[in-house]
Structure 1
Amino acid sequence: MAVLSWLAEQRIQEAMRSGEFDNLPGHGKPLELEDLSGVPEELRMSYMIMKNAGLLPEEVTLRAECVTLEGLLLACHNSGGEDNIERRKELQGQLSLKRLRLQMLIQERGLESSAAYPDYGDKLRARLAGMEE
């Protein structure tokens, strides 16, 4: 194995000397690493696979929608007015439906009994609400 590592290092050094790495995208810029600290270690691989495939679990989407609706409700409460009363009722109804669907999904998938889910769920809620730890 040491021979393969040495050979790989020699090829990398040779490519660097010949300038093969000079025009790569992002050259000279810091790497944008994914922060997975809020994802339990045992879920990270599956999370990255799903994220890279453009798939998000429905509960993640629902949580994000709930946070958005909560923000809209707060904005309606802060601005007052007759038009906002109807809008608040509409938003509250949408939020209630989303929360109900989310609770049903959590129960259907048995997530409330998962050891990792409560901790992950709290971190996910905080991140979606913009209160990263």
Structure 2
Amino acid sequence: MAIMSWLAEQRIQEAMRSGAFQDLPGHGQPLELEDMSGVPEDLRMSFKIMKNAGLLPEEITLRAECVTLEELLAACHSSGNSNTEEARSLERKLSLKRLRLQELLRERGLDGSSAFRQYSEQIRQKMTEGGD
């Protein structure tokens, strides 16, 4: 395996000397590295693949929808209109989303995962803090 690494390194050095990397997009600019430190190690690869494909795990989408519904409900309650049909409709939608999320986590075996719980809490904090 060491010979393959050496050969690859030699080819890269040769390409650099010939200027093959000069016209690449982003040349001379800092790399944008993703901070995956908050994602449990055993979930990083699958999340990275899904992100690159433009997909989000359903549980993340459901959590985001729950946060949005909770914020809308809070706005309804703070305006003094907590008994309106709109508030009741939001409460029903929120209940259904939470049930679906619980069912999904149970199906995937994530309801008992401490790593996923910790990651979920970090996601929840980011969403409720406005994504800072």
Distance 1:85 1:28, change over 3 A: farther
Q: Which residue of 1 aligns with 2:124?
A: 125
**TM-score, length basis structure 2:** 0.74
Query: Residue in 2 aligned with 1:45?
Result: 45
The superposition leaves residues 73-106 of structure 1 with CA deviations (integer Å, 9 ceiling, x where unpaired) of 334445x376x94433322221121112112222
Q: How does 1:1-133 map to 2 (within 5 A)?
A: 3-78=3-78, 80=79, 85-130=84-129
Q: CA deviation at 1:31?
A: 1.6
Name the amino acid aligned to 1:106: L
- TM-score scaled by length of structure 1: 0.74
SS in 1 for 2:88: helix
Whether the 8 Å CA contact 1:73–1:91 is kept in 2: the answer is yes
Gaps of 5+ in 1: none
Which stretches in structure 2 are left out of the alignment for 5+ residues?
none
Matched pairs, number: 131
Asked whether the equivalents of residues 102 and 111 of structure 2 are also in contact (C-alpha less than 8 Å), the reply is no
What SS does the corresponding residue of 2:64 show, helix, strand or coil? helix
Identity of aligned residues (%): 66
CA distance in 1, matches of 2:103, 2:3: 55
Quick one: distance in 1 between partners of 2:51 and 2:89?
A: 32
The question of whether the paired residues in 2 share the 8 Å contact of 1:62 and 1:102 is answered with yes
